[in-house]
């Protein structure tokens, strides 16, 4: 078996191929694995292929895949052929995310591909539990040693305090998060702070899909298309779940001017607090990421105890270098790289 980076991540067996979060559908692949429905892990083209891809993913990912791509995949929680078998494990990144556990039936090697992963329990999310494996394909979004974060619970409690204070002063508050993942988590953890709640159109749509999938969220109203002209309900303050965009966003700018809206950002980038607040036009920011921080990535490696590590995405090169210094057999897996044997 060879592992290489061509169609995002390829696992090539003697007579079959497994694609991990492929950027293009390929009918020659035996099976695909879709870790979750963030756009950077989905195919780049929304054009429907002329076949129905056999996919291993969660039911939630399959539903969200259809919502975002416009066509269906054949969902399986596990799949096998004569050369490999694959199953999903909870990933802790988003409501739908999973990790892939793959067994090479010829060598009996156990391969774990994390996709995007988080080992911390957060709200309704159970953190990923690292598992012993021979080969670990590990995301490296925060693979830079400077990105070590405070606990989720501490950051949420500090956010609650700030938001309550602003609401008590009569100010509405916008909570910035990505439409899929972060915004549902913010709704779940912070939605009870105010009875009147709005969401941007894209976040509202994702709220409906997640409710359909069984996630209990606070009800929000869809933000009017022209809120500065149409006005918002009543004179009391309100919460707004809004896309993770900067100060130049015209809607946010108008709301800040008309309603004295306070903006709160939630991101791992908030580790660089003042820079992040400036870029986002935020009044406050909290270091809450859907990805494992640097310390947690090291914990995954230590608990997995693999013979070989491929780092992917983000700071893959930095993380691989640090792991090498700590005695691990680690290499960054980069697009365009030649085919790699598992051990060399």
Mean pLDDT value across residues 243-258: 89
Clarify whether residues 316 and 249 are in a common domain. no
Residue 344: pLDDT above 50? Answer: no
The pTM for the full model equals 0.94
260-283: pLDDT as tens digits: 999 999 999 999 999 999 999 999
Clarify whether residues 261 and 198 are in a common domain. yes
Clarify whether residues 193 and 128 are in a common domain. no
Distance CA 85, CA 78 (A): 7
Q: How confident is the model at residue 339 (pLDDT cuts 50, 70, 90)?
A: very low
Mean pLDDT value across residues 166-194: 97
- Position 343 scores a pLDDT of 31
Clarify whether residues 180 and 211 are in a common domain. yes
Share of the chain above pLDDT 70, in %: 95
Q: Which residues fall within 8 angstroms of residue 293, CB to CB, at 6 or more apart?
A: 142, 147, 148, 149, 268
- Position 228 scores a pLDDT of 63
Give the torsion through C-alpha atoms of 204, 206, 210, 216, to 10 deg: -30
Distance CA 5, CA 27 (A): 18
37-50: pLDDT as tens digits: 999 999 999 999 99
Mean pLDDT value across residues 121-126: 98
Clarify whether residues 206 and 270 are in a common domain. yes
Clarify whether residues 135 and 14 are in a common domain. yes
302-313: pLDDT as tens digits: 999 999 999 999
Looking at 240, 268, 286, which one is the last position of a domain?
Answer: 286
Clarify whether residues 303 and 249 are in a common domain. no
Range of the domain at 215: 152-286
E strand or H helix that includes residue 168: helix 152-168
Indicate which CATH number applies to the domain containing 177.
3.40.50.10890
């Amino acid at each position: 078996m060879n592992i290489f980076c061509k169609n995002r991540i390829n696992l090539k067996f003697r007579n079959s191929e497994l694609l991990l979060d492929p950027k293009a559908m390929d009918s020659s692949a035996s099976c695909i694995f879709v870790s979750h429905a963030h756009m950077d892990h989905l195919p780049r083209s929304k054009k429907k292929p002329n076949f129905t891809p056999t996919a291993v993913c969660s039911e939630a990912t399959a539903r969200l895949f259809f919502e975002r791509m416009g066509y269906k995949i054949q969902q399986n929680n596990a799949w096998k052929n004569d050369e490999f078998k694959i199953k999903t494990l909870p990933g802790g990144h988003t409501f739908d995310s999973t990790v892939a556990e793959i067994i090479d039936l010829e060598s009996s090697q156990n391969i774990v591909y994390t996709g995007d992963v988080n080992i911390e329990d957060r709200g309704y999310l159970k953190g990923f539990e690292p598992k012993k494996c021979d080969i670990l394909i590990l995301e490296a979004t925060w693979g830079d040693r400077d990105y070590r974060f405070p606990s989720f619970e501490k950051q949420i409690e500090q956010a609650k305090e700030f938001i309550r204070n602003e609401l008590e002063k009569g100010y509405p508050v916008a909570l910035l998060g990505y439409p899929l993942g972060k915004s549902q988590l913010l709704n779940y953890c912070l939605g009870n702070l105010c009875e009147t709640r709005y969401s941007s159109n894209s976040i509202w749509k994702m709220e409906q899909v997640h409710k359909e999938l069984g996630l209990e969220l606070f009800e929000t109203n869809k933000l009017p298309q022209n809120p500065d002209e149409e006005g918002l309900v009543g004179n009391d303050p309100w919460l707004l779940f809004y896309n993770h965009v900067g100060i130049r966003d015209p809607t946010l700018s108008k709301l800040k001017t008309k309603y004295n809206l306070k903006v709160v950002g939630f991101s791992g980038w908030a580790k660089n607090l003042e820079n992040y607040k400036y870029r986002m036009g935020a009044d406050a920011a909290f270091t809450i990421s859907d990805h494992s921080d640097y310390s947690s990535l090291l914990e995954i490696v230590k608990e997995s105890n693999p013979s070989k590590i491929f780092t992917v995405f983000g700071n893959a090169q930095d993380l691989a270098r640090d792991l090498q210094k700590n005695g691990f057999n680690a290499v960054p897996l980069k697009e365009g790289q030649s085919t790699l044997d598992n051990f060399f």
